Each structure stands twice: as structure tokens, then as C-alpha cells.
Amino acid sequence: MQIENGAQTTMHGGGMRSRIVSISLLAAFAAIATKGAVIALGGSAAGTGASTVFEAPIRRADIVDRNGDLLATSVTAYSLFADPRAMMDSDLVVRELTRVLPDLDIELISKRLANKDRAFAWIERGLTPRQRQAVFELGLEGLDFRAEMRRAYPRGTLAGHIMGYAGDDGQGLGGIEYARDDRLAAGGEPLALTIDANVQFSLEAELAAAVGTYGAESGAGIVMAVRSGDVLGMASWPPIDPNRAIDLDREDPARLDRASGAVYELGSVFKPLTIAGAIDAGAVRPSDVFDVREPLLIRGRTISDTHPIGARATPAQIIAESSNIGTVKVAWQMGARRQQELYAALGLFARAPIELAGSAAPILPQEFDDLASATVSYGHGIAVSPIAFVGAYSALGNGGERVEPTLILTGDRRRAPKRVMSAPTAALITGMLRQAVVSGTGRQADVAGYRVAGKTGTAEKPIPGGYSETENICSFAAIFPADGPEYVVLIVLDNPKAGDGRGRTAAWNAAPTAGRVIERIAPILGVEPKFDVPAQSNPQIRSVSQRRNAL
């Protein structure tokens, strides 16, 4: 009996020990699970090394041009972070890190790592593979890396203002990156733009050359298809490199997109639109003549011509010789109300509906009185963005229908063209613009074989209190080919200098720049040259560069 009781006692004692061991194991597992949860949610415990769980980043969609050429992509980069609680000596960590990352802000990083209540602190974002390896080889406690997707722009400054840029966390901060942030952040198929990388390169190269040659402060250029509204090239100078844009000073002039985000009084490029409106309204006939010999005086403001014609002029001659007096008299015939209706229909009284958040609003006359009506008719007293003007000008090359400029190749926002004048009127004005290039102020824009039609614009630059007597905005608006319009080209130069002594007018800077652009892009766009009618002054001339050298 005693033996049985002893055995019974032994059995009870073994069961108790088993229960104790089981409870202990459960407690240990619970502690491990709790610690794992702490690490996953808030970082590692002090002294155990940093380990943070991040969601795998979604690869931001690429951006390509109309031909599929890559303009923006996402690449894997590594960012360095720390768990200050896991560091025995944060000052030592900072000293060691600055040996391999000399650009670190020592004061800021020291402050972050000294806070032992923090489980997470960024050290440096976007390390190169070499920098990452150098940090890894230090063997420092409390440091770890996070794989991130960083934006890269393999073409550098090409279409930089159109691209915009993305921040450290992949969010779009400018240009198309910002305007289409949701679409790009969702990943998927590349976003295709309307621009042609080869056209864009040619436009940027000629714009930069013009700024250098003529000593301009800045400039803008646009190439657009007149029927679709596709922007094939849009450039602003100074250029911007999206790879480095985030580091630029807020006041850096390269930040401003002068093609869509700035407004200018463009001057006489408005004259063809004014005359088109008057003819289309039946207020003026192409055969009418206007006395342009004497300046006009309107409420104390004298309106004269830069180079007086000294005779009576038809609408075609007013455009070819760029007569302010003649244009004002045409506008008088049309009337202020119809003039305003025309400009509104052309989209000049609103922001251009381009897919960029920075599209600038126009600056309009406070009151559209008789003086404003007169000056606006030849492009003074109204300031518009270059992209808005290109949209208006497209109507002349598109049979009288205005198209809205677009940068998205397969966008769902495309709207049907809006008729703003009759097709015969548009064709008539385009013919007048061709004569302005053949025998008028636009002669320097002519490119043998490509039938350029266009108009110069030279406007005094607005300054506080009035207008400058020494600084101009020079522009040239072209349509080509004149006998079958396909493209609009606009060049704008801010305050070009005389350079060759021939003057600061658009005829000698913006016009030849537009000609050089057309000479380069026409073959790219597949425009066939025609040499049926050789240049009268020199039948051997076949290009703008040859014409310039022959003068």
C-alpha cells in the first residue's frame, strides 16, 4: 500500500513538473512573439540592430515619347536608416558615416541619433551602390538599408520642363510627373507623350543657340501639329535637369517653364488673327486699302509704325510690312465687341488647357476700351502664354478650326476642334503669311522647299510704370507647309540684343531661329520639300544657313 501510495505520489509530482515546463515554454513563445511584433511595428529593441519592415514599393510607370523612346523610368536605390536605441555610441556612428558620406549634415544626423526614444531615423536617401557598400563595410550597429524606387531621366535636360520631377518618396512634384501622378504611381504600362524626342532635341538645340547668339535673357519654343493639337516639341530656356531639379533653389530661373507657365506681350504675331477676324466678319475685304501714312493719336497715346510704309495698304500688305496703323484701322472696322468675341473663341482669354498644372493665365486689359482695342489688335496690352497662342494660331493652318494643345498621346480629354473662322478665311490669311515670308518682315525665316508662312512680332517689354525703350520680346509664329499646313512653330526670345548691329527686332533673331528649327525638323516629320520655284535672289540657296551666309 505504501508502495502504491509512493508511486501515486511520484506520478502526481511528474504531472506537476510537466505542467510547469509547458507553462514556461508558452511564456517564452509569447515573449518571442511579442518581441517580433514590436520589431515589425516599431523597430528593434535597443542593442539588437535595426530591422524595419517596409511594404514593397510599386514601380512607378515609365514615361515615353510618341515613338516609345524612354524619357523617365524608375530604378532601385537604397536609403540608409537607423534605430538610435540600438546604438551604444551614436557619436562614433556619425564620425564613421561621415568618412564615407562626407556630404552628411553632421549636426542634423547627430541630433536624430541622440534621441534614444526614436525607433527610426533617416540618415541618407538614394545611395549609390558604391556608397551602400562602403556603409555596409563599416559594420556599425543600429543601421540598415531600405530598397526604394527612385526616378531617373536618362535624357537629362531633354523635355525637362515637360517631365517635371518626382520627390524622394516617388510623388510627382512638377510637370507631367505631378499632373499625372495618380496614373504614374499606379504603375502599369508606360505613359506615352505626344512629343517626338528628335523634334524636341532639335528645338532645344536651336533655342539654346539663339539665346547665346543674340544674348537673350531667356526663351521658349513650341512645335505643334495643327490638326491633332499634338505638341511635338516644347522647350524653355534656361533648361532644367529633372535628375537634379529637387536640389535647385526656389528662385532658380531654370524652374520656370516659359512655354506654358509664363505670359508675354507677343506683339505683331497677333495681327494675322485680327485681320482674319475682320475679314471673316465681313467688316473688311481683302481688296480694301487703308491709309497708313500718318500716326494715330488715341487718348494721348500715339500709335505709329516702326518702319513706315508711306502709302495705302491692303490687308496683305499690312501683314507683310507689319503696320500697326493699318491693323488698328482694320480692328476699328471689326468693332470692339466682335474683336473680343474672336479672341475669346481663340482661347486667348483663358489658360491654355494643356496637361500641366502651371499653365499661366493671361493678363488682360482692365477695361476693353478704344485704346485697349487698338493696342491689343497688334499684340500690346495683352499677355498670353506661348502655348495658348499656338493653340489660337493653329486655326489658320487647320481650316479655321482651333484645336487644344495636348501632351498626352492617348488621352481621354481630347475635345473636338472648335470652328472660329471659315476655311476660306484661314486659307487666305495663310497665303498672306506666306507673302510676309517671301517679301515681308519674315524673309529670314524662309527655308527653300518647305513653303514657310509666318509673322514676326517685336513688342516693347513691360516694366514697372510702362514699357522699356531698350528691351523687347521678339517672336516668330510660323505655319508650314503653306500650301498644305501641318505644323505650327513659335519662337519667343526675351530681350535679345542687337548682336550684329541690325537691330533688336524679331526679323533678325526670332525669324531666323524659327527657320533653322523648321530646316531641322521638316525631314524628321517627313515633310517633302518642293523646289518648283527657286529663290529669286539666289537660286542656289537651299537653306536658312546658306541664306544667312549669302547676306
State mean pLDDT over 214-222.
96
State mean pLDDT over 48-55.
47
CA distance 127 to 132: 6
Predicted local distance difference test score (pLDDT) of residue 48 = 38
CA distance 402 to 421: 9
- Give 263 or 410, the one with higher predicted confidence: 263
327-358 pLDDT, tens digit each: 999 999 999 999 999 999 999 999 999 999 99
Q: Most confidently modeled of 136-140, 352-356, 413-417?
A: 352-356
CA distance 277 to 420: 9
**Which grid coordinates belong to 231?**
505638341
Residue 268 known to be catalytic: yes
**CA nearest neighbour of 476 among 452, 498, 499, 460:** 452
Structural element, H or E, at residue 295: none
Predicted local distance difference test score (pLDDT) of residue 47 = 36
Dmax (CA) for the chain in angstroms is 144
Domain boundaries, the chain: 63-158, 198-245+253-550
**CA nearest neighbour of 390 among 324, 474, 461, 475:** 475
Predicted local distance difference test score (pLDDT) of residue 303 = 94
Average model confidence (pLDDT) across the chain: 87
481-527 pLDDT, tens digit each: 999 999 999 999 999 986 554 568 999 999 999 999 999 999 999 99
Which residues of 1-132 form beta strands (DSSP E)?
63-64, 70-82, 121-127
Q: Which residue has the cell 500709335?
A: 303
Domain 198-245+253-550: state its class.
Answer: alpha beta
12-43 pLDDT, tens digit each: 444 444 454 444 444 444 444 444 444 333 34
Structural element, H or E, at residue 468: strand 466-480
Exactly one of 44, 79, 236, 268 is catalytic; which is it?
Answer: 268
Share of the chain above pLDDT 70, in %: 84
Q: Global pTM?
A: 0.82
Cβ–Cβ under 8 Å, residues 306 and 505: yes
Whether the per-residue pLDDT at 118 is higher than 70: the answer is yes
CATH code for the structural domain at 63-158: 3.90.1310.10
Whether the per-residue pLDDT at 465 is higher than 50: the answer is yes
The band of 75, judged by pLDDT with boundaries at 50, 70 and 90, is: confident
Cβ neighbour number for residue 317 with a 10 Å cutoff: 22
Q: Which residue has the cell 514657310?
A: 452
